[in-house]
Amino acid sequence: MKAVHITRSGGPEVLQLQETPTPVPEADQVLIKVKAAGVNRSDVITRQNTDTYGKGTGDNLIPGLEVSGMITAVGDRVTDKQVGDAVCALIASGGYAEYVAVDSSHCLPVPEGISLTDAAAIPETVFTVWFNVFHLGKLQPGEKLLIHGGTSGIGTMGLQMAKAWGCTVYTTAGSDAKIAFLNSMHLGKVINYKKEAFEEVWKAEKIDVILDMVGGDYTQKNLAILNKKGRLLYINGMKSTEVTIDLRTIMSKNLTLTGSFLKPQSAEVKTRIAQDVEEHIWPLFHAKQIHPVIYKTFPLEEAADAHRLMESGEHIGKILLTLD
């Protein structure tokens, strides 16, 4: 089969389409003929740091954390999926390929009303938001949630999920075009962080939960605007992962500071997340309360251009790679 490989650490040009053996599903896995693969910020970071993240994989590291497609084979122990099922799936790597083998329990049916291609934009965002905001952060209907980076793949999905959950949502973005988009989607209270200081504008809002991927000096500002018993959740620290905070802010308001990486979670944890999102979030897709926001699709062989677009930061929502 054809797959895009990270041939060495470097810029987008190190992504090369090459022939590679088609994976064979293990007993608890299914083989998916990929229709589309989501491009994530994490793929860019992996590509830039293959010497760290790709140890032992030689030139065989195929990026890609999520796909959609049709099941073409099932392992001996698989009873919940069949050949011909249309699914989307969370995977640890290998999505930029014609075929991928994945644990059956990490596949979910394509939600009603969502195209097979667009479904590739769902797993990474929904799993990440569920695990952090709803599981670790215990977001409750009626609470206030701030997600920084509102037009990221994570932001566009997380804000919709929380709004449909009955929460008041707040978000930040860095350009007027992005602000206009978020307003057109009615995704809560929005500010351009390049023009206004969120910690001033929302000083009195008493936010219950914050999902942040910025880190750095945002951390103390986030803590400062949290309500009593507020929860601050980290999924990245794009500005900096080394921060200075005043512990008195945490102690005086009984705050919780936590976060996670989805990729290294155990198969069991990912299975549990899949079960939870199918129960609680899939009905929101069926009711048309939420949908993935797709900015642009590229053919698989143009993966380097897809990475260039992601690095430009101009996208709103998700970037996908598609296969015929």
310 binds ligand NAP (CB under 6 A): yes
Which of these ranges, 40-48, 87-95, 103-111, 276-284, lies near ligand NAP under the rule CB under 6 A?
40-48
Tell which positions 202-241 bind ligand NAP, by CB under 6 A: 213-214, 235-236, 238-239
Q: Please pick, from the candidates 20, 104, 128, 160, the single residue that binds ligand NAP as defined by CB under 6 A.
A: 128
Beta-carbon count within 10 A of 172 CB: 27
- Of 4-12, 91-99, 152-160, 279-287, the window that binds ligand NAP (rule: CB under 6 A) is 152-160
Q: Stretches 72-80, 167-175, 182-190, 272-280: which one binds ligand NAP (CB under 6 A)?
A: 167-175
Query: Which of 68, 105, 172, 219 contacts ligand NAP by CB under 6 A?
Result: 172
- Which DSSP string do the residues of 53-103 spell out, in sequence order? HTTT-TT-B---SEEEEEEEEE-TT--S--TT-EEEEE-SS--SBSEEEEE
Closest CA to 168 of 134, 141, 192: 141
Q: Distance (Å, rounded) from C-alpha 273 to C-alpha 303?
A: 28
From 46, 48, 93, 151, residue interacting with ligand NAP (rule: CB under 6 A): 151
Among 153, 188, 230, 292, binds ligand NAP (CB under 6 A): 153
Determine the Cα–Cα distance for residues 63 and 100; give it in Å rounded to an integer: 11
CB nearer to ligand NAP: pick between 111 and 215: 215
49 is a site residue for ligand NAP (CB under 6 A): no
Q: How many angstroms separate the CA atoms of 222 and 123, rounded?
A: 27
Q: Which residues bind ligand NAP (CB under 6 A)?
A: 40-42, 124, 128, 148-149, 151-155, 172-174, 178, 193, 213-214, 235-236, 238-239, 260-262, 310, 313
